[in-house]
Structure formats: structure tokens, C-alpha cells
Amino acid sequence: MKIERVRFGMLRVPLATPFKTSLRTVDEIADVVVMVDTDDGRTGYGSAPATAVITGDTHGSIIEAIHKVIAPNIIGMEVGNLNAITDHIQKSIIKNYSAKAAMEIAVYDLFGQLYGAPIYKLLGGGESVIVTDITISVDYIDKMVDDAVAACDAGFETLKVKVGKDPEMDIERIKAIYTATADKALIRLDANQGWSPKQAVSVLRALEESGVQLELVEQPVLGEDIEGMKYVTERVHTPVMADESSFGPREAIELIRNRAADIINIKLMKTGGITNAVKIADIAGIHGIECMIGCMLESSIGVAAAAHVAAAKSSVITKIDLDTPSLGKYDPVTSGVRFEGPEIRITDAPGLGIENIDGLEPLDVANGAGRHC
């Protein structure tokens, strides 16, 4: 089975409610879908969203990086030679993590098809059912409380609450949500780099002293501020998780060496795909550090790939944040991964097991179409 060509599409899914963080507000999932065709008629699928404020990737840059640089480096290669293919993907261009992730996901999908097994089993196996949290977007207090209660009523037992816009208001938001849901759900905070180190310590200490028990706080300070992360980690009881502070294995090692975080969040769109995600999990496991698997605001193609990694590395990846398929008005992808409220079920379908993608818009990249998506 040889890689013959790469095609592109756009997939858009409206959100049930706008997704709001301290960095942005979004009302739809919009992914570049990559289709890698082989000489025996099979297709592997990958995808990536535009996350300019996080990874620096836009739809246009993802398409251009794959079409002009990454794809030419792997066309003609045997799918069974997975390590060589992923090495070519990673070394063909610097950064461009989401473009690399989309390509790696598609190649791993083909690898699973080649050997007739789901990706998580090829990565070592594990439980086929995992449980995710759900995101509560930053908003007015009453709206956030209503959203949190509704999520609990829908069966979610862990809430990831977005904060980071206004420290004083954030304290009131979390107190109100905690009061409304304390006996129903665990609460994770995601500050999305929204606080200074001193603000983070002040907010977290105020919450701790008021009796609010948090499972963790995610990325309280700017991603590049490792000293700031360490400052917060050393001064609060709440476990601190690195997200934007950790893209690949090198950053994970730096965080661990500096004891700058208690938990590391792995996202395929930051790591450049499955290969580095597995490396981070293995590094963390050696040092006794827990990981979360997360995702961007993306379709269930990329999220399904992340679920496979989570299942295979469940001894280290103990926390799951793969809720974006639940945030859309519908899921247009029929695959071997089923998103059923808080439960994510992985079938034995080979690779990702993708059977159909409703509403996928083909892009004629060779003729310039889609360049400004």
C-alpha cells in the first residue's frame, strides 16, 4: 500500500452555543480535512482547525504547508513504513504543528487499515471506553451556572470552566458554579493564559480559602512564562496543568525538570500528531507525572485520533478533555469512535473507521481554491 496523492476538504459544524474563552469567541467548528489516497484505493483521513492565537496555524497555512511541502515528501512511500513516514512529516518543515498533525492522523488511519486494527490497539491496546469532561464557556455568572447545571443533568461528572478575563469576577463565577454543582461534578479551571502569576496565586488562594475544591487549574499564565508557571505551582494547593507551555517532548521535559507544573495537557494539534503525543506520555510516565488529553475546537476526526491515544496510554493519560463533538449541533462524521455524551466508545473498526463525512466540501487546491479559507 503506497501513498499516491493528498486531497483536501473543508468541514463546518455550527456550535450549539458560542465557545468563549479569554482569547476568542467562536460560533462554529471549521476544519481542513486531509484525505490521503493509496494505490490500492484506500483513503486515510486527518483534520486540523485554524488556531492562530495558539499554534499560529490558519486554514490557509495548513493547506499550503501540506500541499507544497509535507505531501511531496511522503508520496510514494509504503504505509507499512510508518516510522519513516512520520519522520518525513516532522522534518519536512519547522513548526506548522496542526498541518503535521492532520497528516499524521491520516497516515495512522491508513496504518490501521493496512493491518485491520483500530489505532489504539496498534499503540498497545487499552480500555475501549473513556469518559470526557465538558467545557463551560466564560460568560455572565447566571449563564455559566445554568450551563453547568445543564451539563450535570446531561450526565457529565467533570466540568472544565473557562475563566481568565477578570480575576475578581472569576472568583465569583467559580464560587457560584461550585455551589450549584459541588455534589454533582468535579471542577477544572482553564484560565487560557489570562492571569499574571500573582493574579493566579491570589485567585486560587481565595478559592481554596473559601472552601472551593478544584481538581486542577489549566495554564493560568502565559505559555512561554515557565518561571511564572513554577511560581504558581509552588504557592497553591490546587494542581497546576500546563497547556500552551507544552507543545512537544522538549517542553514537557523542561516543565518536569523545573517542577513548573503538576500535570501536562497533550493535544495532537500542538504536538504535531500522534507520534510526539505518545512520546510525551511516555516521558511523563517515567517521571510519575499525570497527563490530560485535550483538543482544540475541532471536528470528531481529530478528536477520534486523540481518543485512540488516550485509550492506549490510559495509565498516564488519566484526564480526558475531548468534548468538542458534544458542543456541535450535530456530528457529521460516522466513524469507529462514538461520542455519546460523556462517554467515548472506540470500536474495533480498522484505523479511525471513518465511513462517511456529511457536508464535506472538496477543495481544488491545485487550482488555488480554498487558499483563503
The response to whether 235 counts as a known ligand-binding position is no
Annotated catalytic residue, options 121, 162, 313, 319: 162
Note the residue count of the chain: 373
The response to whether 135 counts as a known ligand-binding position is yes
C-alpha 296: how far from chain center: 5
Residues pairing with 317 in the sheet: 291
The response to whether 24 counts as a known ligand-binding position is yes
Asked if 9 and 363 touch (Cβ cutoff 8 Å), the reply is yes
The response to whether 291 counts as a known ligand-binding position is no
Annotated catalytic residue, options 20, 230, 267, 319: 267
**Angstrom distance (rounded) from CA 11 to CA 28:** 10
Q: Is 68 exposed, middle or buried (0-12, 13-18, 19+ CB in 10 A)?
A: exposed
Would you state the cell numbers that stand for residue 160, as one nine-digit string?
472544565
The angle subtended at Cα 119 by Cα 297 and Cα 113, nearest 5°, is 110
Which of 212, 190, 207, 208 minimizes the C-alpha distance to 138? Answer: 190
The response to whether 323 counts as a known ligand-binding position is yes
**Which residues, including other chains, have CB under 8 Å from residue 114's CB and lie 6 or more apart?**
1, 79, 80
Q: Compute how many other C-beta atoms are within 10 angstroms of the C-beta atom of residue 216.
A: 21
**Angstrom distance (rounded) from CA 347 to CA 337:** 6
**Angstrom distance (rounded) from CA 310 to CA 360:** 27
Would you state the cell numbers that stand for residue 215, as one nine-digit string?
481538581
The response to whether 37 counts as a known ligand-binding position is no
**Angstrom distance (rounded) from CA 157 to CA 56:** 33
The response to whether 297 counts as a known ligand-binding position is yes
- The string of DSSP letters for 223-282 reads TT-HHHHHHHHHH-SS-EEESTT-SSHHHHHHHHHHT--SEEEEEHHHHTSHHHHHHHHH
The response to whether 321 counts as a known ligand-binding position is yes
The reply to whether 313 belongs to the active site is no
**Angstrom distance (rounded) from CA 255 to CA 223:** 11
The reply to whether 267 belongs to the active site is yes
Q: Compute how many other C-beta atoms are within 10 angstroms of the C-beta atom of residue 115.
A: 13
**Angstrom distance (rounded) from CA 111 to CA 105:** 10
Per the annotation, binding residues for substrate are: 24, 135, 160, 295, 297, 321, 323
Active site residue ranges: 162, 267
Per the annotation, binding residues are: 24, 135, 160, 190, 218, 243, 295, 297, 321, 323
Per the annotation, binding residues for Mg(2+) are: 190, 218, 243
